[in-house]
Amino acid sequence: MVRFRPLPDPSGVFQPDFLIAIRALVNVHHSIYPQLPPQGTYFESLVEEAFRWIKKPFTPLGRTSGNLSGADLIVENRRISLKTETGLSTDPKLISITKLCTTEREPWEAGSLVERTLAHLARYDMILMLRAVWERPLIHYQLLEIDVDLLELIATADLRPVGKRAGRGSLGADVNRGEKRLFHVHFDASDGKCQISRMSVEDCVMLLAWDIAIGGPYSHLSDLRNTSQ
């Protein structure tokens, strides 16, 4: 018997007119930067411009100081964090967030790390992520909506020491729902970052997917993921 897994429901914030606008703006970006996907403040600016194009009210929040900054903008009373993922090693089916937040303050122990991460997640309601998957001569774009409720399952993680770093050590664990592994969480002792890896695209809302043809070699691009907050 085939069992069908229920798909996550979209929030409804990102309507078809927004999706048309953001796709057009990403394409315009590539007319200026042919081989550089928009990241960081570039993606933030494109999202804000897309809302301006469709005349949908939004409130930009800007970057707060400190390591636990939260949402980037508010739309329809929903607090949204904007992130990107790109690089030659980006997996079309598995999401990585290389910096969900930083939790470098002491004490460096499982309970405190989880508590600080949950406090960070409480500052927004969802993540809008633009992923650029490289497959010459194309970039496959994915625009995803990630519900914070999924990430808050970090509270159930059984964090254990990982690696062989001297002194303060990194901690990590798989995060499960029932018998299914949802993603892996890693607290990196070297820089204090909370990182997410191996999160299935199928557990998120795929808002839009499209391809852009890119000419020339990828000589400038290192084989690294780059996720911005």
How confident is the model over 198-228, as pLDDT tens digits?
999 999 999 999 999 986 555 444 444 454 4
Closest CA to 43 of 147, 128, 145, 148: 128
Residue 139 pLDDT > 70: yes
Range of the domain at 100: 16-213
Counting the structural domains of the chain, the total is 1
- Residue pLDDT, tens place only, 70-84: 799 999 999 999 999
- SS3 assignment, position 29: helix
Tell me if 209 is assigned to some domain.
yes
pLDDT at residue 7 above 70?
no
- 206 falls within a domain: yes
Query: Does some domain include residue 225?
Result: no
pTM of the model: 0.89
Q: What is the pLDDT of residues 42-71, one digit of tens each?
A: 999 999 999 999 999 999 986 544 444 679
Question: Which residues, in sequence order, are CB contacts of 157 under 8 Å at separation 6+?
Answer: 114, 173, 174, 175, 185
Q: Is residue 31 part of a domain?
A: yes
Cβ contacts of residue 89 below 8 Å, gap of 6+? 223, 224, 225
Give the C-alpha separation, 124 to 121, whole Å. 6
- Could you tell me if residue 4 is inside a domain? no
Q: Hey, what are 88's tokens?
A: 């030659």
Q: What is the pLDDT of residues 161-178, one digit of tens each?
A: 987 766 778 999 999 999
Name beta bridge partners: 135.
Answer: 138
Mean pLDDT of 118-140: 94
In this structure, which amino acid lies at residue 100?
A: L
Helix (H, G, I), strand (E, B) or coil at 211: strand
